[in-house]
Amino acid sequence: MKTIIYYYSATGNSLYVARFLQERLPETELRSIPEELAGDRLSVQADTIGFVFPMHYLSLPLQVEEFMERLSLRESPYLFAIATCGVPYWGRPFLDADAVLKRKGRRLHGAWFVRLVSNYLPYRDTAAEWRIRIRALLAKRKLQNIAKAVANKEHHTAWQILRGMCRRYHEEWRERQRKIDENFSCDTERCTSCGLCERVCPRRNILRPEGPPVWQHSCVECLGCLHICPVEAIDYGGVTQGRRRYRHKDISARDLLHDFEQDRHCPRQG
């Protein structure tokens, strides 16, 4: 009864959820969505297949949508999805996932929001520590129930409110993709050229020809580079200065770095 969980994680929430389920479901393998997109394993056969991801602008992250479109499902397994978020139910990630899967003759059997901590610092500062601890406790309880539901292949739907507004909001974001990373800046005096920003980027959108990061205008706005910088040299539009960076307490920075196969033999700076 093999299970494969595909995850997409910039600051650790979704990776934490994927690992939590892996520990409670037999024969479960985790696969990184950005690394799968960069490779050639876009066909899968398993009894259960899960997708775990954050919401980006109230719907699917761009690479998650791309991955679902390209993934070949050789049989009709039990499919589930979990969206990690700061505020649940606002959004349409499962509607949009189902729209992609429908074109393959598939659909989600289980869908859940799991509330943890939003990493979108341009909107607001990271939640207070006491709030993070409470959300972690509640999330753990919910994930225990989700694990049981997935093990039993139960059907489950999730509320998704203000769907029309969320669609417009998401589409407006997509239209300005090429300009998104113009908002990022790096304090070159603080930057230590450690290379973490380059290695955490799921789109390989960061190069470091002279040490500090240079964005290449194909950003998906996961904010991984901003949060992982150990000296907080990276900011977004100036509004993130002084705001607390975030990473899930059970996930290390190293856990979030990508190992793109074609880059493994390339020397890295820093």
Residue 151 contacts by C-beta under 8 Å, 6 or more apart in sequence? 24, 25
Q: What pLDDT was estimated at residue 124?
A: 93
Mapping DSSP onto H, E and C, the string for 4-20 reads EEEECCCCCHHHHHHHH
Low-confidence residues of the chain: pLDDT under 70: 1, 261-270
Please report which helix (H) or strand (E) contains residue 43, including its range: strand 43-44
Alpha carbons 263 and 20: distance in angstroms, whole number: 29
Which pairing describes strands 110-115 and 43-44: parallel, antiparallel, or unpaired? unpaired
Quote the CA–CA distance of 22 and 6 in Å, as a whole number.
11
**148 and 39 housed in the same domain:** yes
**CATH number for 182:** 3.30.70.20
Q: In this structure, is residue 64 part of a structural domain?
A: yes
Question: Quick one: pLDDT at residue 195?
Answer: 97
Q: State whether 37 and 144 are in the same domain.
A: yes
Structure tokens at 104: 């393959």
Structure-token pair, residue 250: 């059970």
Residue 98 lies in a domain: yes
SS3 at position 46:
coil
- CB-based contacts of 18-22 (< 8 A; 24+ apart in sequence): 18/50, 18/52, 19/250, 20/140, 20/143, 20/147, 21/50, 21/52, 21/143, 21/146, 21/147, 21/150
Same domain flag for 16 and 128: yes
Question: pTM higher than 0.85, yes or no?
Answer: yes
Please check whether residue 99 lies inside any domain of the structure.
Answer: yes
**What secondary structure does DSSP assign to 149-176, as a single string?**
HHHTT--B----BSHHHHHHHHHHHHHT
Domain-located, residue 72: yes
- Helical ranges in the chain per DSSP H: 13-24, 33-38, 62-70, 93-102, 129-151, 163-175, 196-200, 224-228
Q: Determine the pLDDT at residue 30.
A: 98
CA–CA dist 188, 185 (Å, integer): 9
Mapped onto helix, strand or coil, the DSSP state of residue 204 is coil
Could you tell me which residues come within 8 angstroms of residue 60 by beta carbon, excluding any fewer than 6 positions away?
A: 53, 68, 93, 96, 97
Tell me: do 196 and 217 sit in the same domain: yes
> What pLDDT, on a 0 to 100 scale, did the predictor assign at position 261?
61
Task: Determine, yes or no, domain membership for 170.
Answer: no
Distant-in-sequence, close-in-space partners of 230: CB < 8 Å, separation ≥ 6:
192, 194, 196, 253
pLDDT value at position 7? 98
Rg from Cα positions in the chain: 18
Q: By residue range, what is the domain housing residue 115?
A: 3-164
**Whole-number pLDDT of residue 74:** 83
Final residue before a domain boundary, out of 102, 135, 164: 164
